[in-house]
Amino acid sequence: MLTPKPSQAVNNMKFFADTADVGAIAELNELGMVDGVTTNPSLIMKSGRDIIEVTREIAGMVDGPVSAEVVATKADEMISEGRKLAEIADNIAVKVPLTWDGLKACKALSGEGKTINVTLCFSANQALLAAKAGAAFISPFIGRLDDINVDGMELIEDIRIIYDNYDFDTKILAASIRSVNHVKDAALAGADVMTAPPDVIRKMAHHPLTDKGLDAFLNDWKKTGQKIL
């Protein structure tokens, strides 16, 4: 596992909620655990809501970037969809897939000053192209690589080295996070951001020894007969 350089360590790792469930976002937001939100067509489908309406509501809840994904596959249509999505709010990040057309759309939309998240990244070369096309975020999908027996975390490590070698500003947004260990390993590998389902973020607080220790403390406390309030 790589040790992040001191220059990387000055930035606070950002947590994005990978969901279009406004209730779950609100709960995490109260704890200051939501620096941004990522959605995709599958998450919009799961929410059962209209993309424009739910994205506007989410964008009003958080200060950080809210990714909304285009569904066109041709660059010119992606650009039109991206412009429409970007109009929803100032903090929209337009998500485009890592295809040749997606890169064209990334170049055009980032040239207009829009924040672009290039998604469905599965290789370091794809990440290099996205950075050159002006992406603000690159989203390597860790879990889906693990699904096919490829170490998703190695991709994060490779991109970190490449981006640092050339001082690319593109932020590494570790995506398709399925477990608390993915979060830890992404942090160790120096990902700038991780996006995870709210449940994974909640699970990060759990440890059986914490529960066991708390039970023991509370049992002993009962025996004292004391009260704090």
Active site residues: 95
Alpha carbon 206 to its chain centroid, in Å, reads 21
Judged by CB under 6 A, the chain residues 89 through 108 that form the site for ligand G3P are none
Q: Which of 156, 176, 193, 194 binds ligand G3P (CB under 6 A)?
A: 176
Does 81 contact ligand G3P by CB under 6 A? Answer: no
Does 38 contact ligand G3P by CB under 6 A? Answer: yes
Listed in sequence order, the DSSP H helices in the chain are: 6-9, 22-30, 41-47, 51-61, 75-86, 100-111, 124-132, 142-147, 152-166, 180-188, 198-203, 208-224
Q: In this structure, are residues 38 and 16 in contact, taking their beta carbons and an 8 Å threshold? A: yes
Residue 122 or 141 having the CB closest to ligand G3P? 141
Residue 44 or 128 having the CB closest to ligand G3P? 44
Contacts of 126 (CB under 8 A, 6+ apart): 98
Give dist(CA 207, CA 99) in Å, integer. Answer: 41
Q: In this structure, are residues 225 and 46 in contact, taking their beta carbons and an 8 Å threshold? A: no
Give dist(CA 57, CA 194) in Å, integer. Answer: 22
* CA dihedral of 193, 199, 200, 203, whole degrees rounded to 10: 130
Q: At closest approach, how far in Å is the CB of 32 from ligand G3P? A: 21
Does 203 contact ligand G3P by CB under 6 A? Answer: no
Q: Which of 175, 183, 189, 201 binds ligand G3P (CB under 6 A)?
A: 175
Judged by CB under 6 A, the chain residues 178 through 197 that form the site for ligand G3P are 178, 195
Q: At closest approach, how far in Å is the CB of 8 from ligand G3P? A: 22
Q: At closest approach, how far in Å is the CB of 59 from ligand G3P? A: 17
At residue 228, the 3 state secondary structure works out as coil
Binding mask 112-151 for ligand G3P (x = CB under 6 A): -----------------------------x-xx-------
Contact residues toward ligand G3P (CB under 6 A) are 18, 38, 40, 141, 143-144, 175-176, 178, 195
